[in-house]
Structure 1
Amino acid sequence: MLVGVPKEIKNHEYRVGLTPAGARELARHGHQVLVQRTAGTAIGLPDDDYAAAGATLCDTAADVYAQADMIVKVKEPQPAECAMLRRGQILYAYLHLAPDPKQAAALVKSGAVCIAYETVTGPGGGLPLLAPMSEVAGRMSVQVAAAHLESPAGGMGLLLAGVPGVAAAHVVVLGAGVVGTHALQIAVGMGARVTAIDRNVGRLRELDLIFGNRITTLCSSAHTVEQSVLDADAVIGAVLIPGASAPRLVTREMIARMRNGAVVVDVAIDQGGCFETSHPTTHAKPTYVVDGVVHYCVANMPGAVARTSTFALGNATIGHALALADQGWKRALADDPHLRRGLNVCDGHITHEAVALALGQPYLPAEQLLAPAQA
């Protein structure tokens, strides 16, 4: 199979879909790898490293899309990229379709086989291809909150850890999955006063065993969310329903009652966001202010630490990339129910139930498209 790696074109996106090590693995399996020139140079992965790994270099994204059987990316294809996809071509990337009907329509129109990292499941549960970026975003979220609590960034002028005689900032983390757990780790490490809110009491028990009396755990309800948000200096939105739009846990009215100069970081913005006042921003202009509250809603947070993120993502995605290249998409998806959960759009149909529900579109189970391969 010919595997293509275009350069990412989303605003301030420096990650790359395949490292030289990943290209070498595919080449060892007998596949051709086509990489757009300078795809990885911004993060210290020069073209020569890809060539040494057995990849062929080309000048434009159009060359990649025209020749490749499978496109390996990081972020969702932009409109110009969607237009270059063709029927039967595999797209393997983050898609986050639930809040993005325009992208979904473009992918349906293309007829491509679109596999979303964020809905591939794991044998032990969880979302193993989303997890590394959730780890990065969770850790970054507290750094970002701390930076934007500073006065020059529009915050109230608060040091997250406080100092002797002055109280530490109160950080509230909504959601205790991968993002939330890593946010808690950094917030506790930086000396903040920390509250974790989740609806899963079993998960809260686990966090209590991990962090002990260094955090407060609360079971999620409208009351506990409201009371905690109103007392917070920084709120991290870390909720996720796989494939679906994020629930809006924090209302506009709550935002209006928060302290001036407080900060909210919406890590769930890729799935629509969990604050009613959220809308996507970019690294070029990451924040805006609503009712005196600083909102950080960058839709590709891990892109700011692109080298770390690229290697973490490559570790997680290369196994399925090899399976798709070795077996073809029909056999690979038929043989692996977890990879099959990643199929969001295929042959003009939406094939993930939560995505279809969020978009209000018809749903065709992936199994119906794979019947010949499963026979």
Structure 2
Amino acid sequence: MLDPDIVIIGGGTAGLYSALGIDSWDGNYIVIEEKNNIGWSERTTGGIAKYWLDKYGIHLPDEVISTKIRSDEIIWKNFTTYRVLYNGDIRYVIKPIEFLRYLGNKIKGQIVLGERVLGYRKMNDNLFKVLTNKNTYISKFIINASGPFGVKVKAVDRHDMIIGYERGIKRKDIEHKIRIFFSDLAPMGYLWDFDGGNGTRREGLGFPVYIPMNPKKNLLAFLHAQNWDGEVVHEFSHPIPVAYPLDEVSMGNVAYVGDAGRFVFASTGGGIQGAILSGYNAGISLKHGNFDAYDLWYYNFRKYLLRHYKIKKLLYSFTLEEIDNLLYILKDYKPKTLNPIAELSRVVGYLMVRKPKIILNAIKSWV
């Protein structure tokens, strides 16, 4: 039985980046992963905003990137299109399985596969006992990267969950582009279509879980209407937490990262960048024997999560007709930066000046 200084629960993106953070100062840890291998699933759309990687100096090798997005199209109900061409790459689309296997091969610590963490508790001597279905481990610190429904993770209200369904199709189209569609087929959400690399497109949708609609049926209806057929290379469905940010992401010697710490940008459902940044910062923080540096980083990062949550609530309060109206106004809007947070704020301000009544009524409906 191993008794490491740090136990990382979960071998996904957040857990493996926690390990890389610890590797930066040669800490002693293990990663416990329930599945029998790393990179077992395709279950992520794979989009990462390049801005966040650049901001924190995180590099991804070309072999784990399937394509680089340079333009956006937002298409609303009447199929009027708002196009944005950026002066450079704004997003990376990763190869999920290759990405996780790359991380698994890169870390220095041991990965324990095929063990499910049942729970953990603090003992009298400030150590933790971590119980799995096969072993018991003793550690000083725990990094919880067990996902939104993991062990000792604060539950998310169903009204703050969306259901995402995606299908990868062999179909050539304009490369380096992502399309966002607002439609009755994705109420209070949207559909997406973007370059998946190697002659494939990733088509999907997301909407709140409490809406009584079948996401797969709706996506297939959408694809049929567009005449977008092709060989299916992957498909998956999974719930995504888009909840209000936690007040704190560490309690004593336990830190929560990735989906376990609600590091999902609620307005888009994107969680990979949050998993990378939270995991890496939690791991680095332990160089000083505590999570104080992680807490300080979160204090500054939380404002971005909160801003996304407010924008999500704003979007939920709009009707499709109001979205059509607002997006039509945006046809003249030009982005000034590759910073997604700054651009979201500028968009809201731009709309507020031109359609204050719609924006204010939406705000009143949920404040």
Decide: shared fold, TM above 0.5.
Answer: no
User: TM-score, structure 1 length as denominator?
Assistant: 0.30
Higher strand proportion (structure 1 or 2): 2
Higher helix proportion (structure 1 or 2): 1
